[in-house]
């Protein structure tokens, strides 16, 4: 998760604290407070989103019990073995160089 808002939040707080109470700057403090509240909302949303992602990942993993996981792995293993057999059969059926040379000489 991005944490790029931390420095922004720190600098907005510093700017808010260091803004003089002068008539010239009376419009700046509400703007800084508004910007700070937006950053805090983003921070809360990202934190909540991260927690939800962690929970969703945990639920997806826990959705299979041990027997189901073993069955899935066994199925994958059998598919791999089947493909290995297919490759061996293809290699057996492939004409060798001697066979192709003898065909050309005939």
Q: How many residues does the chain have?
A: 106
pLDDT score recorded for residue 12: 92
Give DSSP secondary structure letters for 8-20.
HHHHHHHHHHHS-
pLDDT score recorded for residue 7: 87
CA–CA separation, 6 and 12 (whole Å) = 10
CA–CA separation, 66 and 55 (whole Å) = 20
pLDDT score recorded for residue 104: 55
Structure tokens at 21: 């109470």
pLDDT score recorded for residue 106: 52
79-88 pLDDT, tens digit per residue, is: 999 999 999 9
Segments of the chain scoring below 70 in pLDDT = 1-2, 61-62, 96-106
Angle at which helix 5-18 crosses helix 28-62, to 10 degrees, equals 160
Cα–Cα separations (whole angstroms), residue 36 to 3, 32, 62, 73? 15, 6, 39, 51
pLDDT score recorded for residue 94: 76
Question: Where along the chain do its domains lie?
Answer: 1-62, 65-93
Q: Which residues contact 98 (CB under 8 A, 6 or more apart)?
A: none
pLDDT score recorded for residue 30: 92
pLDDT score recorded for residue 2: 65
């Amino acid at each position: 998760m991005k944490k790029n808002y931390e420095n922004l939040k720190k600098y907005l707080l510093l700017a808010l604290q260091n803004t003089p109470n002068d008539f010239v700057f009376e419009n700046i403090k509400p703007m800084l407070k508004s910007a700070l509240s937006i950053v805090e909302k983003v921070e809360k949303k990202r934190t909540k989103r991260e927690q939800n992602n962690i929970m969703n990942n945990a639920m997806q993993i826990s959705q299979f019990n041990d027997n189901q996981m073993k069955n899935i792995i066994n199925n994958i293993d059998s598919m791999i073995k089947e493909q290995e057999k297919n490759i061996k059969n293809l290699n057996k059926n492939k004409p060798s160089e001697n066979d192709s040379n003898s065909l050309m000489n005939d």
